[in-house]
Structure 1
Amino acid sequence: MAEPEQVSLPAVHGAGALTGDLTLPHDEAPLVVFAHGSGSSRHSERNRWVAARLQEAGFGTLLLDLLTDEECDRDAHGEMRFNIPLLTVRVLGVLDWWRRPVGLFGASTGAAAALGAAARRPDDVRAVVSRGGRPDLASESLSGLRAPTLLIVGGSDPEVLELNRRVAGKLTAPHDLHVVEGATHLFEEPGALSRVADEAASWFTAHLASPAPSR
């Protein structure tokens, strides 16, 4: 398995740099960028575990903190972690840095940022996966979404499940809503996160690893 490389990216709309862990099985591996949710970071054990499974499937992964260390230190009340426009711009900065089509994997509020970025850059984002996400927070951007989108929600996370069902009913892009029965918001139940990883790998294999469709 390839070893991660720590990378730094300029923080768009902010001072300092964003820090990420980039792992590439090979130079041409399609890349999945992880947009973490509120209260999480690139050190999240859940996202790192899913990333490892995607690497085994042949994908590169970038686990990136969308806030700088200084921003995290002063964001005591979480305003910046819920600033979806700011997080979206930061994801767009990643697309500018990588300069190749990617897949986006978003969790919680990070899913809203991923969807907003995908809607604004349809040629740069080939597929999106949301894990326990809040796609409703990107509702103003969803009409422009063209990337195939998979919404994964725990069956025992009723409020988030209902929000995802409402969003799925409005999407015109190719999409699917996958419910992991018995799983709560963090997918901590035995086997739940494995289901997430399997579904994500299948989605990215179908939509990111294959050639882009003609437009």
Structure 2
Amino acid sequence: MRSHDRDDIRHRSAATRVASLPAVALQCDDEVHVRTEDAQLAGRLVVPEDPVGLVVFAHGSGSSRHSPRNRYVAEVLQRAGLGTLLFDLLTPEEEPNRRNVFDIDLLSRRLADVTVWLAGQPRAEGLSIGYFGASTGAAAALRAATDPRVEIAAVVSRGGRPDLARQALSLVRAPTLLIVGGHDHVVLELNRLAAQLMSCEVVLSVVPGATHLFEEPGTLTMAAELARDWFTARLRPETTSHRSGPRPPFAGGDVDVIGS
């Protein structure tokens, strides 16, 4: 089978998952344009009625805000009362340059810029913000979480490359969930090593049978549900106010706790 045929099948499968989700009552579903220091970035902001928090997506190399996989995860989060912002970290002119895709300094700065913009929007008032990063976007999310301009309550990485965040790992304070496929052996080892460098609460969750893109039946759903549980347990107002009282339990399935 040719590579583009496999890509078509993957996209159709992910799109089918999105279409199968029940509708959720929305406060807004807006196309937005965010002006940063050096670019104007396009995105989609979706906020359900009575939101409990907001999650900003940082996409990986070769992906975009239109990715069916990311849209599926976003809709799972929306059904749990979480607003989502999917946007492109690079402009269409910048995307063909592979150096930009791995420029974590650039990507993290733009992610923080967008977060500052989001925090200033009326729909975000009083809501905690989390990051969901995939592949190289996970490194950008972890580094952006250390930016003094933003306050991030939780981070989730799916098939991420946290090792690319390098020295920023030890500075992350937001509770972090690292989701990796059990058959994604190289990335799994990179996540184990990265987790050992982090001083915040960090959990490594291995999805059995999953490869890097979580294409295997049921694996993307499992990853999305792990992310949903992590965010809802940490972004709700009662769990972010000075972390008072016990944290809601996290039911994570096949979870390897690296540190807390």
Alpha-carbon distance in 1 for matches of 2:203, 2:149: 18
Q: Deviations over 1:9-34 (max 9, x none)?
A: 0133x24x100011000365411000
CA distance in 2, matches of 1:122, 1:67: 21
Q: 1:122 to 1:7 in 2, by over 3 A?
A: closer
CA deviations on 1:184-207 (whole Å, 9 max, x unpaired) are 000000000010011001000111
What secondary structure, in the 3-state scheme, does the structure 2 residue paired with 1:139 have? helix
Q: When the two structures are superposed, what TM-score results if normalisation uses the length of structure 1? A: 0.92
1:63 matched to 2:86: yes
Q: Match of 2:72?
A: 49
Give the secondary-structure state (helix, strand or coil) at the position aligned to 1:70: coil
Q: 3-state SS of the aligned residue for 1:199? A: helix
Kindly indicate whether residue 86 of structure 2 is the aligned counterpart of residue 94 of structure 1.
no
Q: Residues of 1 paired with 2:45 and 2:172: CA distance?
A: 26
Question: Any residues of structure 2 matched to 1:156-171 within 5 Å, and which?
Answer: 156-171=183-198
Aligned pair partner of 1:180 in 185, 196, 207: 207
Aligned residues: 210
| CA shift for structure 1 position 143 | 1.4
SS, match of residue 103 in structure 1: strand
1:148 is aligned to 2:175:
yes
Distance 2:177 2:198 in 1: 11
**Please, which moves more after superposition, 43-52 or 26-35?**
26-35
Q: Is contact 2:45-2:84 (8 Å) kept?
A: yes
- 8 Å contact from structure 1 (residues 120, 144) kept in 2: no
Distance in 1 of aligned mates of 2:225 and 2:101:
28
Which SS does the other structure have where 2:145 is aligned? helix
Shift of 1:122: 8.4
Determine which of 43, 54, 62 is the counterpart of 1:20: 43
Which letter maps to 1:34?
A: F
2:56 matched to which residue of 1?
A: 33
Where in structure 2 are there 5+ consecutive unaligned residues? 1-23, 244-260
Q: Residue type matched to 1:89 in 2? A: R
The percent identity for this pair of structures is 55
d(CA) in 1 for partners of 2:237 and 2:227? Answer: 15
Q: What amino acid does structure 2 have at the position aligned with 1:111? A: A
> Are 1:113 and 1:138, in contact at CA under 8 Å, matched by a contact in 2?
yes
User: What's the CA shift string for 1:165-214, capped at 9, x where partnerless?
Assistant: 00111211011000001100000000000100110010001111243242
> Counterpart amino acid of 2:32?
V
- Specify the structure having the higher radius of gyration (Cα): 2
**What is the aligned partner in structure 1 of residue 225 from structure 2?**
198
Q: What is the letter of the counterpart of residue 101 of structure 2?
A: R
Q: Contact 1:31–1:102 at 8 Å: present in 2 too? A: yes
Structure 1: any 5+ residue segments left out of the alignment?
Answer: none
The residue type equivalent to 1:127 in the other structure is A
Matched to 1:19, the amino acid is: A
Secondary structure, counterpart of 1:23 in structure 2? strand
Report deviation, 1:142: 1.2
Deviations 1:79-113 (A, max 9, x none): 10110000000011012101253100000000000
Distance 2:237 2:175 in 1: 13
Residue 124 of structure 1, CA deviation: 1.1
Verify the 8 A CA contact 1:122 1:145 in the aligned structure 2.
no
Give runs of ≥4 in structure 1 deviating > 6 Å: none
2:171 and 2:198 in contact (8 A); partners too: no
* 1:9 and 2:37 matched: no
